[in-house]
């Protein structure tokens, strides 16, 4: 089903190294890239102690990710800059709907489902979890693939499950989490990428954020080149979402560079690129504060959800 990788699974070390060191943006160009990164952030909370209160704060922050004085200084106060989405557990989706409405914020709601993060639940239960999240108001569903099937080479099993999940999503977008840190090889990462795209995924995503190894550039290079090859053969554009361990503004710029160089400018938008993160936004706002005021903000000067 998912033939050989024609994109060199060895991943050019030079490409990865250059992304993190030689390719940089400074001054006003960096500020522009960081504002673009904000629009691609899936602002996330996936904690066992999530409550309506912290979800409500998350939703407000997603709708107002940068202080008004900073946006005004950048001439961006009327551009409607928001995060790409908020991302929560299924049983917090209804809280998001209520909070976003109260804050008059229009931001997509993403929900992790299908027994996140392990996926070790019966398929019937996983599909019901998707349907419930969509019924409660989720417009995007982040599912986890069956790593047991992938590790055993049962790609038809992976395909069939993802296809069933695609159907359960209805009109909601489907993001498939490969959990690359648990797939064992780059070959499996490439095959899993193709299988998920063929099964109808709108996005492929690196990680749950709960594995030992999450979003790293060598694995991402395999995934985005699979996206490029799939687009060249089918004309269908699939999005990409790295998640887990992305915490600094510099990291965000590096991931944007990867998309620009490997897939082109069209993938530099929330329709085709997302960053799964919880702490990233704080550092981006700190860097924008520094650009505007020439100093780093104290913690109380940049409230975070």
In order of start, what are the domains of the chain with their CATH numbers?
24-296 (3.20.20.70)
Q: Are 37 and 284 in contact (CB under 8 A)?
A: yes
Structure tokens given for 198 = 């063929």
The predicted pLDDT at position 298 comes to 85
How far is it, in rounded angstroms, from Cα 197 to Cα 231?
10
Q: Per-residue pLDDT for 14 more than 80?
A: no
pLDDT of residue 6: 46
| Paired tokens of 123 | 């398929």
Q: Across residues 94-107, what is the average pLDDT?
A: 96
The secondary structure of residue 149, as a DSSP letter, is H
**Under 8 Å between Cβ of 191 and 2:** yes
Is residue 70 within 8 A of residue 303, CB to CB? The reply is no
pLDDT the model gives residue 18: 59
CA–CA separation, 284 and 249 (whole Å): 5
pTM for this entry: 0.90
- Report whether pLDDT(25) > 80: no
Q: What is the mean pLDDT of residues 216-234?
A: 97
Catalytic residues: 142, 205, 241
Longest dimension (CA), the chain: 55
First to last CA, the chain: 44
Distance between CA atoms of residues 302 and 286, nearest Å: 7
pLDDT band at 22 (very low <50, low <70, confident <90, very high): low
Residue 112's pLDDT is what?
97
The pair of structure tokens assigned to 29 is 């160009």
What number is the average pLDDT over the span 22-29? 73
Using an 8 Å Cβ cutoff, are 111 and 140 in contact? yes
Other beta carbons within 10 angstroms of residue 63's beta carbon come to 20
Say if residue 117 is preceded by a cis peptide, omega within 30 of 0. Answer: yes
The mean pLDDT of 78-97, rounded to a whole number, is: 96
Three-state secondary structure along 242-268? CECCCCCHHHHHHHHHHHHHHCCHHHC
- Reading the block at residue 182, the tokens are 């648990």
Q: How many CB atoms lie within 10 A of CB 114?
A: 29
Average pLDDT over residues 32-37: 96
pLDDT (tens digit per residue) in 129-157? 999 999 999 999 999 999 999 999 999 99
Average pLDDT over residues 62-79: 94
Summarize pLDDT for 165-224 with one digit per residue, the tens. 999 999 999 999 999 999 999 999 999 999 999 999 999 999 998 888 899 999 999 999
Q: How many CB atoms lie within 10 A of CB 246?
A: 24
CA–CA separation, 199 and 236 (whole Å): 12
Phi, psi values for residue 164, rounded to 5°: -65, -40
CA–CA distance, 37 with 155 (Å, rounded to integer): 34
- Helices 13-20 and 217-234: angle between axes, nearest 10 degrees: 110
Rounded CA separation 215/44 (Å): 15
- Please count the CA atoms within 13 angstroms of the CA of 257 that sit on its side-chain side: 20
Mean pLDDT over residues 154-165, rounded?
98
């Amino acid at each position: 089903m998912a033939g050989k990788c024609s994109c060199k699974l060895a991943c050019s070390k030079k490409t990865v190294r250059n992304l993190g060191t030689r390719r940089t943006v400074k001054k006003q160009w960096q500020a522009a890239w960081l504002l673009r990164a904000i629009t691609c952030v899936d602002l996330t909370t996936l904690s066992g102690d999530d409550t309506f209160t912290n979800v409500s704060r998350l939703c407000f922050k997603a709708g107002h990710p940068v202080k008004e004085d900073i946006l005004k200084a950048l001439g961006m106060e009327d551009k409607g800059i928001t995060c790409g989405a908020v991302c929560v557990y299924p049983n917090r989706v209804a809280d998001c709907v209520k909070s976003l409405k109260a804050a008059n914020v229009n931001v997509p709601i993403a929900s992790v489902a299908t027994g996140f993060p392990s996926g070790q639940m019966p398929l019937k239960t996983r599909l019901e979890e998707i349907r419930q999240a969509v019924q409660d108001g989720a417009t995007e569903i982040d599912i986890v693939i069956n790593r047991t099937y992938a590790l055993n080479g049962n790609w038809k099993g992976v395909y069939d499950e993802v296809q069933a999940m695609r159907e359960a999503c209805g009109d909601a977008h489907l993001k498939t989490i490969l959990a690359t840190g648990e797939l064992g090889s780059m070959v499996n990462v490439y095959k899993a990428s193709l299988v998920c795209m063929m099964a109808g995924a709108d996005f492929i995503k690196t990680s749950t954020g709960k594995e030992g190894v999450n979003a790293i550039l060598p694995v991402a290079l395999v995934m985005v080149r699979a996206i490029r090859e799939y687009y060249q053969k089918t004309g269908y554009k699939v999005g990409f979402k790295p998640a887990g361990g992305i915490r600094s503004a510099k990291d965000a710029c590096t991931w944007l560079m990867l998309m620009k160089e490997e897939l082109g400018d069209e993938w530099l938008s929330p329709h085709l690129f997302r960053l799964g993160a919880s702490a990233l936004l704080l550092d981006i706002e700190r860097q924008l504060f520094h650009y505007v005021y020439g100093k780093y903000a104290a913690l109380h000067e940049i409230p975070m959800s």
